[in-house]
Chains A and B, each alone.
Chain A
Amino acid sequence: MTKYKTEPLKCWPKAKELRDKYYKDYATAHERGGIRWTGGAWSFDAIPYGLGDDVYPLTGEPYAASIAFNREFSLECLEATEAKGWARDLCSYMRNYWGSMYLNKFNFGGPYPRPTFAFQDHICCSHAKWYQVVSDYEKIPYFNIDVSVGPYHTVKDQPHKIQYIVDQMHQSIEFLEKVTGREYNDDKLIEAVKNDCRSTSTWAEICAMNKNIPAPLEEKTMYSLYVFGTLSKAKKEFADFYEELRDEVQDRVDRGIAAIEDERCRLMSDTQPPWGFLKVFRYLEGFGAISVGSLYTFGLIGAWEDKPDGSWGARTTPMQKGQAINTRDEALYTLAEWTLARPEWQHFYNPNLKTEMMLRIAKEWKLDGVMLHMNRGCEGLSCGIMENRLGLVEAGLPVMTFEGNMGDEREFDVGRTMARIDAFMETLELQPLTTA
């Protein structure tokens, strides 16, 4: 007899279809006279939408994660990048992406679709250099926006810091007009900014529902859903999909539908998972343990705020506040301010900010423990992780660490990781369900 009822997500096939369409649309954009561009999931992707409805991005991290999941092709890509002389300890997303470009092979079939331009922000050094290399190799123009203005709590009352980013955004529009020869449409920009706010706030709303016991979603599934925010936060179809998903997850909560039928231990993870080995999350389920999310899954895309009752919840959008966005300048200012507040942007400046948010998640999502992925593939998100561990342990949380790499399977030892999980489960006094 299982503890809770569970059932598949009804909108799962639609999620799959939308993701497939995203990559297909990108690959075939030129056939329809459209524009292809590449950049990171952290980029201000609302801005290129002002060029028209036929503009298609290829964001590097989710694309590289999809390569990493395809382990055979990933190895081919990594080796192709190494053969060009790049070091093996660089960002593994970047190395997978570059490998696909060097091999001229697209993970979804056919040759690597050459973008028209690259558009990125300097959230971390790897991200800035990543598209510089793409720009040099593919001989395409590249625009990068510097966002190093400090964590949000030091910025929100200093408009000149936000304005520094907005000024670069204005320049980026001049760049886009120049390299595409198209006239920029501010109404499309405004619509895209609203979609960005809508999708990121709705994703946070979905994640907040995992505070419920039993959790309606588990993290392995969430990886396939949060991805839309990394593919294109400002895309109307994705913002609409998140609203549909939110309604379905709310329905699961109302009916007590669980993500796993024997939830008895709630965990969170940290940073990108080893994409080729997501079975780690299924292994947990054998103990009745569920990863209900992480700062990474919640906060890379999700927009959050403090609610009046002190809890963490979805950020109220400018539209919900009745705030008008009528001009290019208002749209860009809204976009910059909204983006800088997202949780995962904060700890690039100080690991303590990350620890505070993790402790908040641990408390509000009622966690029993934490699994930290010491991810050799991403310096940006792994930096300070041992300080985070210390902060969590000092707060009394059981913490397990495991070493790996989100995008390079050669740096992940699946057997040892499972053994580590076994030991962690024992310390949490959990026996495998099958032998209990």
Chain B
Amino acid sequence: MITVGIDAGAKNIKITFLKDGEVIATGISPSGFDQNAASEALMNETLAKVGLTHSDVDVICSTGAGRKVVPGAKHVLTEVSAMARGSLFLRPDVRTVIDVGAEEGRAIRCNEAGKVEDFAVNEKCAAGSGAFTEAMARALEVSLEELGKLSLTSSASVPMNAQCAVFAESEVISLLHASTPKQDIAKAIHDAIASRIMSMCRRVGINPAIMLVGGVARNVGFVQSLRTAMEEEVFVPDNPEFVGSLGAALIAADREVETATA
């Protein structure tokens, strides 16, 4: 059975093809303004890459901010369920999933059976999301990748007090004017995001093992800050941005099996 998970995120659309429990293809493309068209284009592109056609696909499951506009999706899931399922597939002992994407950050607590017991999502605020790191990188005039690496070269602890991405940008500029080294500011930015994510995690309760997923998990500076804040090991899978689409593909397969055996 071939199932497809499509995670139509705020910034990127991710796709995962699953055949009998094995990932056979993944793809990613910008969401743009038309997530419906972007999802379809990515689907066609990935099908071509693995030499399949639409008729080879048994079922599509969508997730992400644009999940309701993904064409052909039989199942529609929120990121909470998809991220939890994908994370536990990759590491069955995971009990806390932290997902930090472009627009939202969320903390998910699961039980041994993989059932979501509680979750928290950042409210109307970019301060715990990828959009925040992008804004801060712009303020420091470095790339996102450089921002992460710079942060690792600092051992300073510079407090950033702003609770808002807009004010945090002003604070970064003030730190620059005060001749604070860029690497210390980079670390301060990641510490600040980690602190906000920690607050969400504490709300739902932190049980090891902890897995960090979503595109921001590629930011090595943030990962380091989060590990320090957690005082626990935080696992990052090889392709953290695909965990949502993986989870969606897995749930699609689960549901097909359930239906077939009902």
The yes or no answer to A393 lying at the interface (CB within 8 A) is yes
Question: Are the C-beta atoms of A423 and B118 separated by less than 8 Å?
Answer: no
Other-chain contact of B124, A389, A401, A416, A427 (Cβ < 8 Å): A416
* Chain A interface residue count, Cβ-Cβ cutoff 8 angstroms: 18
Could you name 13 residue pairs across A and B whose Cβ atoms are closer than 8 Å? A374-B123, A398-B117, A401-B120, A419-B65, A419-B78, A420-B121, A422-B78, A423-B121, A426-B80, A426-B116, A427-B81, A427-B115, A427-B117
The yes or no answer to A399 lying at the interface (CB within 8 A) is yes
The yes or no answer to A413 lying at the interface (CB within 8 A) is yes
Q: Which residues of B contact A403 (CB under 8 A)?
A: 123-124
Q: Which residues of B contact A419 (CB under 8 A)?
A: 65, 78
Q: Please provide the chain A residues from 354 to 394 with a CB less than 8 Å away from any CB of chain B in the complex.
A: 374, 386, 389, 393
Q: Which residues of B contact A426 (CB under 8 A)?
A: 77-78, 80-81, 116
A398 to chain B, nearest CB (A): 7
* Identity of the chain A residue whose Cβ is nearest the Cβ of B110 in the assembled complex: A427
The yes or no answer to B242 lying at the interface (CB within 8 A) is no
Question: Are the C-beta atoms of A423 and B119 separated by less than 8 Å?
Answer: yes
Q: What 1/0 mask marks residues of chain B from 205 to 243 whose CB sits below 8 Å from any chain A CB?
A: 000000000000000000000000000000000000000
Binding site for A on B (CB under 8 A): 65, 77-81, 115-121, 123-124, 203
Q: Which residues of A contact B81 (CB under 8 A)?
A: 423, 426-427
Other-chain contact of A423, B65, B79, B124 (Cβ < 8 Å): B79
If A419-B65, A427-B119 are given as contacts, then 16 extra A-B residue pairs at C-beta distance below 8 Å, sorted by A number, are A389-B203, A393-B118, A398-B117, A399-B118, A401-B120, A413-B124, A420-B121, A423-B80, A423-B81, A423-B121, A426-B81, A426-B116, A427-B81, A427-B115, A427-B117, A429-B115
| Separation of A180 and B121 alpha carbons in the complex (Å) | 54
* Identity of the chain B residue whose Cβ is nearest the Cβ of A393 in the assembled complex: B118
Q: Which residues of A contact B203 (CB under 8 A)?
A: 386, 389
Binding site for B on A (CB under 8 A): 374, 386, 389, 393, 398-399, 401, 403, 411, 413, 416, 419-420, 422-423, 426-427, 429
From A399, A411, A419, residue with most partner B Cβ within 10 Å: A419
Q: Which residues of A contact B116 (CB under 8 A)?
A: 426-427
| Separation of A374 and B122 alpha carbons in the complex (Å) | 13
| Separation of A343 and B233 alpha carbons in the complex (Å) | 45
Q: Which residues of B contact A399 (CB under 8 A)?
A: 118
A386 to chain B, nearest CB (A): 8
Question: Are the C-beta atoms of B78 and A423 separated by less than 8 Å?
Answer: yes
Q: Which residues of B contact A423 (CB under 8 A)?
A: 78-81, 119, 121
* Identity of the chain B residue whose Cβ is nearest the Cβ of A432 in the assembled complex: B76
| Separation of A416 and B106 alpha carbons in the complex (Å) | 13
* Identity of the chain A residue whose Cβ is nearest the Cβ of B77 in the assembled complex: A426
Q: Which residues of B contact A427 (CB under 8 A)?
A: 80-81, 115-119
| Separation of A419 and B81 alpha carbons in the complex (Å) | 12
| Separation of A413 and B122 alpha carbons in the complex (Å) | 13
User: Contacts A413-B124, A416-B124; is A398 near B118 (CB within 8 Å)?
Assistant: yes
Q: Which residues of B contact A389 (CB under 8 A)?
A: 203
B108 to chain A, nearest CB (A): 9
Q: Which residues of B contact A393 (CB under 8 A)?
A: 118
B5 to chain A, nearest CB (A): 15
| Separation of A399 and B81 alpha carbons in the complex (Å) | 16
Q: Which residues of A contact B115 (CB under 8 A)?
A: 427, 429
* Identity of the chain A residue whose Cβ is nearest the Cβ of B116 in the assembled complex: A427
* Identity of the chain A residue whose Cβ is nearest the Cβ of B82 in the assembled complex: A426
| Separation of A423 and B65 alpha carbons in the complex (Å) | 12
B169 to chain A, nearest CB (A): 21
Q: Which residues of B contact A429 (CB under 8 A)?
A: 115
* Identity of the chain A residue whose Cβ is nearest the Cβ of B255 in the assembled complex: A431
| Separation of A399 and B118 alpha carbons in the complex (Å) | 7
* Identity of the chain B residue whose Cβ is nearest the Cβ of A431 in the assembled complex: B75
* Identity of the chain B residue whose Cβ is nearest the Cβ of A411 in the assembled complex: B124
Q: Which residues of B contact A411 (CB under 8 A)?
A: 124
| Separation of A398 and B124 alpha carbons in the complex (Å) | 22
| Separation of A88 and B119 alpha carbons in the complex (Å) | 30
B109 to chain A, nearest CB (A): 10
* Identity of the chain A residue whose Cβ is nearest the Cβ of B80 in the assembled complex: A423
| Separation of A401 and B81 alpha carbons in the complex (Å) | 17
| Separation of A420 and B79 alpha carbons in the complex (Å) | 10
* Identity of the chain B residue whose Cβ is nearest the Cβ of A394 in the assembled complex: B205
* Identity of the chain A residue whose Cβ is nearest the Cβ of B65 in the assembled complex: A419
* Identity of the chain A residue whose Cβ is nearest the Cβ of B124 in the assembled complex: A413
Q: Which residues of B contact A374 (CB under 8 A)?
A: 123
| Separation of A300 and B145 alpha carbons in the complex (Å) | 54
| Separation of A144 and B163 alpha carbons in the complex (Å) | 38
A431 to chain B, nearest CB (A): 9
* Identity of the chain A residue whose Cβ is nearest the Cβ of B74 in the assembled complex: A435
A99 to chain B, nearest CB (A): 23
Q: Which residues of B contact A398 (CB under 8 A)?
A: 117-118
